[in-house]
Homo-oligomer: A and B are copies of this chain.
Amino acid sequence: MLAFVGAVLSVPMVGSAFIAKGLKGRDLLKPNGRTSGPWIPECLGLPLAAIYLGLMMMFIPFPFSHMFHTSSSLSIGRETFPQGELTLYMTSLLSLLTATLLGFIDDLFDIRWRHKLPIPLIAAIPTLMVYYSEGGWTWVVLPASLGKLLSTLGLPGWEGTKSVDLGFLYYVYLALLPTFTTNSINILAGVNGVETIQALIIALSVAFNDLLFLPIWPDWLLEALHIGNAEEGRILSWAAGEVVKRHLMSLYFMLPLIGVCAGFLTHNWYPAKAFPGDTLCYFTGMAFSAVAIQGHFPKTMILFFLPQIFNFVLSCPQLFGLVECPRHRLPHFDASTGLLQPSLTVFKEPPPFKTKIALEVMEVFGLTRLERGSPDSGAQTKTETNGRKTDGSSTAPPVRIVSATNLTILNLILVHLGPLHEQSLCFVMATVQLLSSMLAFTIRYGVGSLVYGGDRR
């Protein structure tokens, strides 16, 4: 609650100082946005991070103190001083603060894309170093069926193997996690509120997942739902000891994050009066990675990023040069209607064969909308429905692909749901994120327990 109130109050207070210092941007998706629109303060992730980190620091004595030991209502057995957990707490804060500082430096000095990419990894160093120093767990539970499969394939040693030590490879995964949780949200920036609401929904999902592990559920609820262990108030009857502590720790980090994101949304929602900047994305992304690494649930965490994974896979042809990638891929603002349309990559030259094939395959799956025309006629003059209905193989040779919608999830939503108002697009994206979280819970506790055998720690 303090985080929410702090975010609501602080953003208008510092806005003008940020504009004065050049931390400002124009809203590209508004009438005359590029040229004469009003300046909007950018990089407001900084005060949000400051509020969050300040609260987290003031919170230190509550879980980690001799004073409050015996009064612990959660009775998870704190006989001795929780030194190890305090280390994890401080380490996560250190990673978050590093991410904030680097994000702010990035916002200030406009670091080039290539130099930006390792920033989340640098911020994750404290977390990874401590994970390593403490002899970090690098074993992964194997699906029960995989062992059988491998033994059937002539690898008899694998039968009965329930877990495998990935060693260095596990660190590679842990090191890539912050890069992904950070950039996958940042890449969708540009539509009012869209980064903030993604972070908010993911934070809510992680917090809800943490609650499942805690022995806090009333008997009547568990009995009515026929789940868990009503006597202990646990939904996951096997969750105990170390696992509970880790998810309690994760909850400490998620609750104020929900607060600042929800508070900031009041300013960042359409029409935005403040932009988050890279700072917020780095900071929230690092929070997700830190709790996932320290809480030993990096695989569950990645499930809450399903829309971002989809967006990354969808973007691959543009990110890796198969299709041209313009500097901005955010949707196109149509000043005449006030609605957003998918933005286009226009091919001045006929695209090479492999690009053509890739785009046509994607068109079949409804992932992009191609526009076709003869080389001499400009792409802009073609109607959109024309491009859609023409079949590449049946038309005369001079007709070629002149443009494709940019390969992002936001453009994809616009391709299928028609031109949308900016607010509606953000709302649809939030709905997608929310539905994906529900799917994630189904996979984690439904399919997951079938494949892995229930007791997944």
**Which residues of A pack against B, CB within 8 Å?**
17, 21-22, 46, 50, 53-54, 57-58, 60-61, 64-66, 81, 83-84, 86-87, 90-91, 93-94, 97-98, 100-101, 104-105, 108-109, 122, 125-126, 129-130, 132-135
Chain B hits for A57, CB < 8 A? 94, 98, 125-126, 129
Chain B hits for A108, CB < 8 A? 21, 108
Chain B hits for A133, CB < 8 A? 60-61, 64-66, 86
B126 touches A65 (CB 8 A): no
Q: Nearest Cβ in chain B — how far from A106, in angstroms?
A: 12
8 A/B residue pairs, CB under 8 Å, sorted by A: A54-B125, A64-B130, A83-B83, A83-B84, A86-B87, A90-B126, A97-B98, A104-B104
B130 touches A90 (CB 8 A): yes
A122 touches B54 (CB 8 A): yes
**Nearest chain-B residue to A61 (Cβ)?**
B133
When A54-B122, A87-B90 are in contact, do A61 and B97 touch as well, CB less than 8 Å? no
A93 touches B132 (CB 8 A): no
Chain B hits for A129, CB < 8 A? 57-58, 60-61
A135 touches B87 (CB 8 A): no
Report the Cα distance A347→B420, complex, angstroms.
69
Q: Nearest Cβ in chain B — how far from A72, in angstroms?
A: 14
Report the Cα distance A61→B129, complex, angstroms.
6
Q: Nearest Cβ in chain B — how far from A43, in angstroms?
A: 11
Chain B hits for A53, CB < 8 A? 98
Q: Nearest Cβ in chain B — how far from A119, in angstroms?
A: 12
**Nearest chain-B residue to A123 (Cβ)?**
B57
Report the Cα distance A125→B90, complex, angstroms.
12
Report the Cα distance A87→B92, complex, angstroms.
12
Report the Cα distance A279→B356, complex, angstroms.
53
Report the Cα distance A129→B90, complex, angstroms.
11
Chain B hits for A54, CB < 8 A? 122, 125
Report the Cα distance A83→B93, complex, angstroms.
17
Chain B hits for A21, CB < 8 A? 22, 108-109
Q: Nearest Cβ in chain B — how far from A450, in angstroms?
A: 36
Chain B hits for A86, CB < 8 A? 87, 130, 133
**Nearest chain-B residue to A59 (Cβ)?**
B129
Report the Cα distance A46→B102, complex, angstroms.
11
Q: Nearest Cβ in chain B — how far from A171, in angstroms?
A: 12
Chain B hits for A122, CB < 8 A? 54
Q: Nearest Cβ in chain B — how far from A89, in angstroms?
A: 9
Q: Nearest Cβ in chain B — how far from A287, in angstroms?
A: 15
Chain B hits for A87, CB < 8 A? 83, 86-87, 90
Q: Nearest Cβ in chain B — how far from A279, in angstroms?
A: 11
Chain B hits for A66, CB < 8 A? 133-135
When A22-B21, A93-B94, A122-B54 are in contact, do A130 and B60 touch as well, CB less than 8 Å? yes
**Nearest chain-B residue to A100 (Cβ)?**
B101
Report the Cα distance A65→B105, complex, angstroms.
31
Report the Cα distance A54→B22, complex, angstroms.
28
**Nearest chain-B residue to A46 (Cβ)?**
B105
Report the Cα distance A454→B401, complex, angstroms.
87
Report the Cα distance A263→B105, complex, angstroms.
22
**Nearest chain-B residue to A125 (Cβ)?**
B57
When A66-B135, A133-B66 are in contact, do A126 and B22 touch as well, CB less than 8 Å? no
A-B complex: 4 closest residue pairs judged by Cβ atoms: A60-B129, A90-B90, A64-B133, A65-B133
